[in-house]
Amino acid sequence: MKLGTIILTILFIFSNLISRGQNKNLALQPEFGKEYIYEFTEINYIQNKGGDKRDSLIKRKLISIRYTSSPQDDEKYLLVWVKGNTVEKPNRNITNFTDYRFPEFRDGFYDKRYPDFYEGLLCRVDFKYNFNTETNIVKLANLEQVLFDVRSILSEKGFGEDEIKERISIFIKEAIPQITKYLQTIYHVSTDFIAADTHETHVYDEKLEMRDSVFTFTQKKWNLEAGLYMRNITINYAKTCLIDLHTIELDTFKHQPIIKDVKYQFSTVEKRTQLKSIDIIGLNRFVISGKIENPGVKTVTLAVLKKSFGSNMHVETVFLDENNTFKFDIELNHAGFVFLQFGKNNFIDERPVISLYAKPGSEISFEAKGESFPWDIEFSGDLTGASNFMYDFRKSTEIFHQKIDSNTIQNFKYKTNYADFIKAYNDFDSFAVKYKTLIDKTTFEFISNEMTSYFLDGVLYYLSHLNYSINSPFGTVAYPRTEGANVAELQNILNSYNIYEVYNEYGIYSRHLVSRYLRYHFAKTKKVRGLTFRGYRIAGLNSGFYYSSDITQQVELARAILTGHPLYSQLIGIFISYINQEERLRTQDKSYILQQTDKYLDLMIRVCNDTEFIDAIKNSRKNLLQWQDENFVPDTKFFNQEGEQKCFKDFFDGKPTLFYISTLWGRQRYYWDKLAEDNPELNVVMIMEGSNFKEWTNYVEASTPVAKQLLLVNDNLKLTDVFVKGSNHYIAYNSDGKFIGFGDSADEIIKMGKESLLPKKKRVR
């Protein structure tokens, strides 16, 4: 098709859009009440005339655009938020990757050596733009609020007044125009194509495609030369939105670089704007319901990752009704995997577990038929393609041995044969491609990345065990189901991936992966360890990363292995582990650990640029500080068996009061009851958490407890949010309601309570 004909076709299709725009631009418009997620990519590299590319730098931004209205004046506007902001140099043995939301973890990050410091601030600020529906021109409407927020953020980071003014000035010149330009790129697509003169069309290839309201126009030069080399535009003209805009522009070097005797003539900038998803604004709930033909059980448990760090999941349990149906309706703010387990855990067999993809605002329903698991399941509602993809793959392999336990999904890789594992890994890509056209791009990428993380976690599991087996001081150690495992094959798989390219922030498999990745590379790096011989030990670098007793060492080692959200998430886990063991430390060590932990938490709050993560850290830090006050008594409300709300102070009645905090309802329950029976002079209370009050009361009544029973309904709070020690520990108060201390065992805390009743010894002068 000749260029003139193509342009006439374009003008005819988009005549109504062009007439609204200016300078022959396609004036595209968002739909009110919708959220658009766009990814902006800029790749800089050098290349020669043969097309060989070198020295790439990739910048990516993920931007949320919501077309909504103000409740104050009902005026429509675009609410813009930078969800992701990264830069990397790929194809290197050492990771060259920066996530501006989770920058380098050290003081002084924002000194003058980092001219792009404002990139992180973009992630902390909400931009509000007026949108002119006649001209499609956007204009920042909340400049004053943006600058106020930037000033507050810089102040919180510790900048002085002169530094704040300087950086605000840079933010105005660099950051705000950048966001405005991105928006104009989406809503004003230029129709000035490469060849303005139709007589020159012989040096170009042109292609025009129209299918299902989607228009794609591509123009590309035949030869590499300076200037605009390629442009691709894809538009959904029914929805008047840009789907894809891809350009490549070349410039020549005055002094051509030479690499390995090859000259590189061009500096290339490749830019791409891609629509990732469109969703309705404000839907932050997820609903899943199902019917099981032959369940063989009475309960269904759901687990989903909600926290911005760690692997603790939100867990709920419901009963099947008389028709063997169930329903969950939960708050959900981030897309991710949801796990369903049918029946309670036991030590005899595995309970059926399935995993599905869920996102805010979605609703899934299914009907399961068959005598035994895996069932034949028919899905309906939203995300049907994704549900079939995940369940069909799960049915096709024997690598998933899982259960929901201790507020997370536990993967028992030792039950998987290596041959089954490697076959599943090799088959996954060809299996996934069958579902690719049935699933939107964002969903498919999340599922694929998460499954890749699951496989890489397995690769590291096998490599860690095989390496230990080979190098064990006790001789070769055999691990179950590792027959045929090939170290070279596993190492090649690991080396073929950049974990940051497959990492999902709200992916439970991704978080499991980085935890094992950190341990694995620590073990590979470590050349020194403590001396141990028949119980004789000299302090040294510990054999396992998470068993170290040096918080500063752990932080520095983690910084050398991880970056971005994976690093921050693992560091929080390290800090919490030290807080949990604080009572076992000597006084001097305890003081040092608490000081170091608070120092690192303060640093994390100052350098992090993710608001949700910062809020979570602040809550953890607040909890840590208030538990250091010896007079602190939590005022959290719990439920007793009668459904009455109770708090700690309700049990202070003149006796020492001992609380056992446990996420596991059956753990040491009967021993705790025996201690309660043997020590009537003490108030003995057991606190658990759960989502289903009926299930809990049925369980407690069946156990005929002696100790008083309390339940934290974990809709919004979990035990780990209330208690600084997290779960499975003990707390003692004396008869006056004064804090005595924490305990690691039932006997220890009973001893504390009984000793508090003894008369205090008089001091001898």
Tell me the per-residue pLDDT of 293-325, one tens digit each, with 9 for 90 and over. Answer: 999 899 999 999 999 999 999 999 999 999 999
**With bands split at pLDDT 50, 70 and 90, how would you rate the model's confidence at 660?**
very high
Burial (CB < 10 A; 0-12, 13-18, 19+), residue 276, is middle
DSSP-assigned beta bridge partners for residue 369: 376
Q: Is omega for the bond preceding 374 within 30 degrees of 0, making it cis? A: yes
Q: Contact, 100 vs 120, CB < 8 A? A: yes
**With bands split at pLDDT 50, 70 and 90, how would you rate the model's confidence at 612?**
very high
> Per the structure block, which two tokens stand in for 344?
């309670």
Task: Count the neighbouring beta carbons within 10 Å of the beta carbon of residue 32.
Answer: 11
Percentage of the chain exceeding pLDDT 70: 87
Residue 119 has pLDDT above 90, yes or no: yes
**With bands split at pLDDT 50, 70 and 90, how would you rate the model's confidence at 21?**
very low
> What pLDDT score was predicted for residue 193?
58
**Beta-carbon contacts of residue 278 (< 8 Å; ≥ 6 apart):** 31, 34, 35, 36, 37, 239, 241
Q: Contact, 672 vs 684, CB < 8 A? A: yes
> What pLDDT score was predicted for residue 762?
57
**With bands split at pLDDT 50, 70 and 90, how would you rate the model's confidence at 4?**
low
Query: 1 or 364: whose pLDDT is higher?
Result: 364
> What pLDDT score was predicted for residue 20?
47
Q: Residue-wise over 404-424: b if at least 16 C-beta within 10 A, else e?
A: bebbbbebebeebbbeebbeb
Report residue 91 CA to chain centroid gap.
Answer: 24
Could you give the C-alpha distances from 485 to 4, 114, 465, 489, in angstroms and in order?
Answer: 62, 46, 10, 8
Give Dmax over CA atoms of the chain in angstroms. Answer: 109
Least confident of 185-194, 436-445, 510-519, 567-576: 185-194
> What pLDDT score was predicted for residue 18?
52
> What pLDDT score was predicted for residue 125?
96
DSSP for 173-225 reads IIIHHHHHHHHHHHHEEE---S-SSGGGGGGEEEEEEEETTEEEEEEEESS--
> What pLDDT score was predicted for residue 450?
98
Q: Contact, 39 vs 62, CB < 8 A? A: yes
CA proximity to 191, closest of 1, 3, 65 = 3
State the average pLDDT over residues 201-212: 78
Give the number of residues written for the chain.
Answer: 765
CA proximity to 677, closest of 643, 650, 704 = 704
Q: Could you report the per-residue pLDDT of 276-296, keeping only the tens digit for each?
A: 999 888 789 999 999 999 998
> What pLDDT score was predicted for residue 41?
97
Residue 22 has pLDDT above 70, yes or no: no
**With bands split at pLDDT 50, 70 and 90, how would you rate the model's confidence at 19?**
very low
Range among 255-264, 426-435, 467-476, 658-667 rated most confident = 426-435
Residue 383 has pLDDT above 60, yes or no: yes
Query: 198 or 615: whose pLDDT is higher?
Result: 615
End-to-end Cα spacing for the chain? 106
Q: Give helix 508-525 / helix 564-580 axis angle, nearest 10°.
A: 80
**Beta-carbon contacts of residue 503 (< 8 Å; ≥ 6 apart):** 449, 453, 510, 513, 514, 564, 565, 566
Residue 585 has pLDDT above 60, yes or no: no
Q: Could you report the per-residue pLDDT of 450-502, keeping only the tens digit for each?
A: 999 999 999 999 998 887 776 665 555 556 677 888 889 999 999 999 999 99
Q: Could you report the per-residue pLDDT of 393-417, keeping only the tens digit for each?
A: 999 999 999 999 888 999 988 888 9
- 3-state DSSP assignment of residue 378: strand
State the average pLDDT over residues 687-705: 92
Integer Cα distance of 654 and 734 in angstroms: 8
Could you give the C-alpha distances from 370 to 296, 299, 364, in angstroms and in order?
Answer: 11, 18, 20
| CA angle (466 as vertex; 464, 472 as ends), nearest 5 | 95
- The dihedral built from the CA positions of residue 340, 343, 346 and 350, taken in this order, carries a sign that is negative
Residue 706 has pLDDT above 80, yes or no: yes
**With bands split at pLDDT 50, 70 and 90, how would you rate the model's confidence at 235?**
very high
Least confident of 63-77, 181-195, 388-402, 628-642: 181-195
**Beta-carbon contacts of residue 69 (< 8 Å; ≥ 6 apart):** 32, 75, 76, 77
DSSP for 270-324 reads EEEEEEEEEEETT--EEEEEEEESS--SSEEEEEE--SSSSS--EEEEEE--TTS
Order of strands, sheet of 314-319, starting from the edge strand that comes earlier in the sequence: 314-319, 299-304, 336-342, 353-358
**With bands split at pLDDT 50, 70 and 90, how would you rate the model's confidence at 115?**
confident
State the average pLDDT over residues 599-626: 92
CA proximity to 362, closest of 451, 440, 450 = 440
CA proximity to 652, closest of 665, 635, 628, 667 = 635
> Per the structure block, which two tokens stand in for 371?
């005598």
**With bands split at pLDDT 50, 70 and 90, how would you rate the model's confidence at 28?**
confident
CA proximity to 692, closest of 345, 315, 364, 353 = 315
Burial (CB < 10 A; 0-12, 13-18, 19+), residue 737, is middle
> Per the structure block, which two tokens stand in for 250?
């070349």
Could you give the C-alpha distances from 307 to 173, 506, 572, in angstroms and in order?
Answer: 36, 8, 12
CA proximity to 470, closest of 455, 489, 485, 456 = 485
Residue 543 has pLDDT above 70, yes or no: no
Burial (CB < 10 A; 0-12, 13-18, 19+), residue 92, is exposed
Q: Contact, 655 vs 681, CB < 8 A? A: yes
**With bands split at pLDDT 50, 70 and 90, how would you rate the model's confidence at 177?**
very high
Q: Contact, 290 vs 326, CB < 8 A? A: yes
Report residue 716 CA to chain centroid gap.
Answer: 19
Range list of H helices, 526-662: 551-561, 564-580, 587-607, 611-627
- 3-state DSSP assignment of residue 107: coil
Least confident of 46-50, 203-207, 352-356: 203-207
Residue 65 has pLDDT above 70, yes or no: yes
**With bands split at pLDDT 50, 70 and 90, how would you rate the model's confidence at 63?**
very high
Give the amino acid at 526.
Answer: K
Integer Cα distance of 290 and 310 in angstroms: 29
Report residue 616 CA to chain centroid gap.
Answer: 13
> What pLDDT score was predicted for residue 136?
86
Integer Cα distance of 671 and 730 in angstroms: 14
Residue 618 has pLDDT above 60, yes or no: yes
Q: Contact, 389 vs 439, CB < 8 A? A: yes
Residue 765 has pLDDT above 50, yes or no: no
Beta-strand pair 683-690/708-713: parallel
State the average pLDDT over residues 506-533: 86
Q: Residue-wise over 445-473: b if at least 16 C-beta within 10 A, else e?
A: ebbbbbbbbbbbbbbbbbbbbbeebeeee
Could you give the C-alpha distances from 395 to 288, 437, 447, in angstroms and in order?
Answer: 20, 21, 16
Q: What is the mean pLDDT of the chain?
A: 87
**With bands split at pLDDT 50, 70 and 90, how would you rate the model's confidence at 710?**
very high
> Per the structure block, which two tokens stand in for 67?
């077309």
Residue 74 has pLDDT above 60, yes or no: yes
> What pLDDT score was predicted for residue 233?
93
State the average pLDDT over residues 201-224: 83
Phi, psi values for residue 317, rounded to 5°: -130, 140
- Number of helices (H) and strands (E) in the chain: give both, helices first: 20, 34
Q: Could you report the per-residue pLDDT of 347-382, keeping only the tens digit for each?
A: 767 899 999 999 999 999 999 999 999 999 999 999
Query: 370 or 113: whose pLDDT is higher?
Result: 370
Report residue 649 CA to chain centroid gap.
Answer: 37
State the average pLDDT over residues 70-90: 89
